[in-house]
């Protein structure tokens, strides 16, 4: 995304370390960004395709924004199975 043209979206699959009982709520945020200061800094980050086993982080930009790199942090909140759970 450094050229200011071409692909303006990237996706990365994230696998959870444990399987959730239902798709959890996922919060995604940028924790580091490196944009060119000569153009507007436009960015959108979100989660997509959330399942019990993982999700996709989606990063988008548009216009003439030039992105060198970003780092994303995420948090999933949901119910996981426990050792003491009964399966009736």
In this predicted model, what pLDDT tens digit does every residue of 55-87 receive, in sequence order?
999 999 998 899 999 999 999 999 987 777 776
- Beta strand 25-35 with 44-48: parallel, antiparallel or unpaired? unpaired
Contact assessment for residue 27 and residue 75, using Cβ atoms and an 8 Å cutoff: yes
Q: What is the pTM of this model?
A: 0.85
In angstroms, rounded to a whole number, what is the distance separating the alpha carbons of residues 6 and 28?
Answer: 24
**Residue pLDDT, tens place only, 13-61:** 999 999 999 999 999 999 999 999 998 899 999 999 999 999 999 999 9
Order across the sheet with 44-48: list the strands: 9-15, 54-60, 44-48
CA-CA distances (angstroms) from residue 32 to 24, 49, 75, 78, 83?
Answer: 24, 23, 16, 26, 37
Q: Which domains does the chain have, with CATH numbers?
A: 9-77 (2.60.40.2080)
């Amino acid at each position: 995304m450094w050229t200011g043209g071409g692909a303006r979206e990237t996706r990365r699959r994230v696998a959870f370390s444990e399987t959730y009982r239902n798709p959890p709520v996922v919060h995604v945020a940028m924790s580091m960004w490196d944009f060119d200061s000569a153009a507007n800094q436009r960015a959108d980050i979100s989660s997509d395709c959330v399942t019990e086993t993982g999700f996709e982080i989606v990063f988008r930009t548009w216009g003439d924004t030039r992105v060198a790199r970003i780092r994303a942090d995420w948090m999933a909140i949901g119910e996981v199975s426990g050792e003491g759970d009964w399966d009736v």
